[in-house]
Structures are given as structure tokens and as C-alpha cells.
Amino acid sequence: MRYIEEFRDGDLARRLARAIAVEAAPERRYRLMEFCGGHTHAIFRYGVQDLLPDNVEMVHGPGCPVCVLPIGRLDMAIRIARRPEVILCSYGDMLRVPGSKRTSLLKAKAQGADVRMVYSAADAVRLAQANPRREIVFFAIGFETTTPPTAIALLQAIELDLRNFSVFCNHVLTPAAITNILESPDVRDIGTVPIDGFLGPAHVSVVIGSQPYEFFAEEYRKPVVIAGFEPLDVMQSILMLVRQLNDGRAEVENQYTRAVTRDGNPRAKALVAEMFELRRSFEWRGLGPVPYSALKIKDAYAGFDAEARFDEPFVAVRENRECKCPMILRGAAKPMDCKLFGRVCTPETPFGSCMVSAEGACAAYYAYGRRAEAMTA
Ligand code: SF4
């Protein structure tokens, strides 16, 4: 397949692996955080970690939108879905994530709530047009990649005067999460999560560009390489990070030049700025409350904001202590550190969000064979 096979070429992968092994200085360690769950899956699906020398370690980050949503926000969605007038719709992964007391949107559906899976925000708008007597609530999640489609859905609903459509907005922001990780005690004080550099997200950066990462490189002296999702993209980006660290540089480099520019997509950014504003604080699973790290619908469009319409409070919920998702999401643990992995917790019977999502670290370890190692540990 053109434009895919070139980025999965085995010979080139072996050459890149040799270059990394030769250039990575044996006396030092290179701890590189891949922020994005898409990269975590690429790394395990294509065996990238196995091609790296022992002193080049990938640390998994929080870039999985389903995983980082706190249980309290999911509980809000479940309470909204249980209202008789509501049809609540969201992406498939979100429906299976366990909320408090191990309930979920799918279980609420089994108990009679009208919960539906959609493939896009536009599907939710169509649902509102087709069901004028019902309240259609779109449970919107995701990083900067999925925010513009939600903005378009809101605009469509305004233009069509769809008074039965609203959005439960849970869009979060990548740069604020990276700052939080770099400021966290794990990284700064305790040193339990040493991070030498970042693989920057691919799709998010198509929207926001490479410019927002310049701050981390400069302020925290951490190199960032924006990487595509194919295995050769990832390996080339790792080599670029190794070279920066060897040279003592901390810059933003863009490996994914076929899609990412410094300024990103100005039309998408303008649309998002028109419909949304920053929340003062938003709780992330694993990171806790992070200032200015999420978006809310602007007051001018509050009529389409499900939080304003249904007035459901956010109630913080304590995490199940056995589930290591919060630590995994900030790079302080790996899925195999969790006793439940592969035993009690599997993709069919997920205990935590990291086992549900197609971008979750536990799901990646399970799908691509790390479960056998865990079971014998
Ligand atoms: S294996 Fe399951 S219980 Fe353990 S951290 Fe992952 S999602 Fe949580």
C-alpha cells in the first residue's frame, strides 16, 4: 500500500536500529516519553522496543483521551444518560470504561438508559435532527485532534437551531499535561520518572503545530521530536532524540514533516477559539487537577452546553487502589507492575481505563504479547 509500506520497511528499520545502537552512548541511559497512546501502540505492535538497545527506554505518557478522563466525569455522563429524555452518544471506547462501583455507560444501557455509539460528532447532530422530541447529548472527549470536529458540530447545531442538542465537553490540552508532568514531584524532586526527552504527538501537532512545544525544550531543557505513527517514523524520531541528547541540545524537531508545520492548522485553531474557552482547572486521571488544561463551551453558546443544561455536579471519586492506571498515565509504573494485569483485568473484563482504549498502555501490552511476561512474573 503506497505511503504505508515505505514506512514499515524491515531493512530500513534494521538500519535505523543499528544507528541507534551505535550512537547511543553505552555509559548513559536515554529515557524517552512517548506522550501519545498512538505511539505506545505502534511501539508494541511493531516491536520497536525490542529493536532498541537496553539503555534506550520508552516511558509511556498520558496521551490516551479515554484513559485520562477521571471517574467523576464518567459518572456525570452516566447520570445524564439515565435521564429518560436523554439519548447520550459517544465513541465506542468510552462506553466500556468502568466508572465508580464498576458501572459503565454500556451497563447503564443494559439497565435501560438510551446510550448509543457514534463514529463522529456529525453523527450526533444527525441523531438530534432525527429525534426532535429527545435530548441528544454528545459526550465529547479527546485532545486537540478531536476538538475541531466538536466545534463544527456545535456550529451546525446553532445554524440548524437544534435546541435538543448539547455537548458534554471533556476536551483536554496536550501542552498543559506535558508541563504538569515536568513539574510533578515524580519528575522534579523524587526522580522516580526520569525523562530525558519527548516523542511529540502526531495528530495533535497537525492541529496545534510544533510551536507550542518550544517552551518545554527551552524552559525545561528537554528535546522534543514530533513523530509520525508508523514504525520507521518512531525509530527515526528516537534516533533524532538520541542525537540531540548526545549533542547537549534541547530543541523541537519535526520528524513528521509530511503533516505537521510550525503553526499547525490556522482554520481549525480559529474554529476552536470561537467555540471554546479555557477551564481554570480540570482533573486528569493520574495527574490530578491541572490548571488551564481543558476546554469548556463559551458562555455565548451555553444553550448547547450539557453541563449548563443538566446541572450535574462533578464528584471526585477515589481510584481503585489495585488499578495502577494513575501511575501508568504519568510514567511512574508499567502495566506489568499491576497485579491484576492479564489475570482479573483483560480487554473483555477491563478493571481500569488503560485496558479499554485502543490507545491505552495496558491494552497495548495485552494485545501485543507482553501478557505472557506478566503472567510468569
Ligand atoms: S491492568 Fe487493568 S487494573 Fe491494572 S493498571 Fe491496567 S487497567 Fe488498571
Q: How confident is the model at residue 359, as a pLDDT?
A: 83
Question: What is the per-residue pLDDT for 162?
Answer: 97
* SS3 (DSSP) at 39: helix
Residue 1 pLDDT > 70, yes or no? no
pLDDT of residue 293: 95
pLDDT in tens, 104-118: 999 999 999 999 999
Query: pTM, whole model, 2 decimals?
Result: 0.92
Tell me the C-alpha distance between 61 and 27, whole Å.
Answer: 25
Give the DSSP per-residue string, 152-208.
HHHHHHHHTT-TTEEEEEEEB-HHHHHHHHHHSHHHHTS-SS---EEEEPSHHHHHH
β 288-291/281-284 pair status? antiparallel
Tell me the C-alpha distance between 272 and 144, whole Å.
9
Q: Closest Cα partner for 28 from 186, 187, 190, 196?
A: 196
Ligand 1 mutation pick, 64, 102, 320, 338, max ligand atoms within 8 A of CB: 338
- How far lies 228's CA from each of 45, 159, 179, 199, in Å? 15, 36, 22, 9
Number of H helices, E strands in the chain: 19, 13
Answer for the pair 184, 326: CB distance below 8 angstroms, yes or no: no
- If you measure from the C-alpha of residue 350 to the centroid of ligand 1, how many angstroms do you get, rounded to a whole number? 7
The mean pLDDT value for 10-22 works out to 95
Distance CA 347, CA 356 (A): 6
Residue 367: other Cβ atoms inside 10 A: 15
| Other CB atoms within 10 Å distance of the CB of residue 162 | 18
Q: Does the pLDDT at position 264 exceed 60?
A: yes
What does the pLDDT look like over 332-341, one tens digit per residue?
Answer: 899 999 999 9
C-alpha of residue 127 to centroid of ligand 1, in Å: 34
CA distance 92 to 105: 10
Q: What pLDDT is stored for residue 124 in this prediction?
A: 98
β-strand partners of 125? none
Q: What is the pLDDT of residue 357?
A: 84
> Are the CB atoms for 322 and 339 separated by under 8 Å?
yes
pLDDT at 370 > cutoff 90:
no
* Cβ contact 76:293 at 8 Å: no
17 within 8 A of 52, measured Cβ to Cβ: yes
C-alpha cell at 291: 490548571
Is pLDDT at 377 greater than 60 in this prediction? no
- Mean of pLDDT values over 64-91: 95
Over residues 154-203, the pLDDT tens digits come to: 999 999 999 999 999 999 999 999 888 888 777 766 566 789 999 999 99
Confidence class for position 151, pLDDT limits 50, 70, 90: very high
Nearest CA to ligand 1 atom 6: 362
How far CA 271 is from CA of 126, 267, 294, 364, in Å, comes to: 20, 6, 16, 33
Phi, psi of 89 (to 5 degrees): -130, 150
Q: Can you give the pLDDT at residue 332?
A: 87
pLDDT at 364 over 60: yes
Q: How far is CA 252 from the centre of its chain?
A: 20
Greatest alpha-carbon span in the chain: 67
Cell numbers standing for residue 119: 463514529
Q: What is the pLDDT of residue 186?
A: 72
pLDDT at res. 221: 92
Q: Which residues line ligand 1 (CB under 6 A)?
A: 323-325, 328, 335, 338, 340-341, 345, 351-352, 354-355, 362
If you average pLDDT over residues 33-44, what whole number do you get? 93
DSSP 289: E
pLDDT recorded at residue 254: 98
Nearest 10 degrees: CA dihedral of 52, 57, 61, 67? 70
> Which of 68, 328, 354 is the pocket-test mutation for ligand 1 (most atoms within 8 Å of CB)?
354
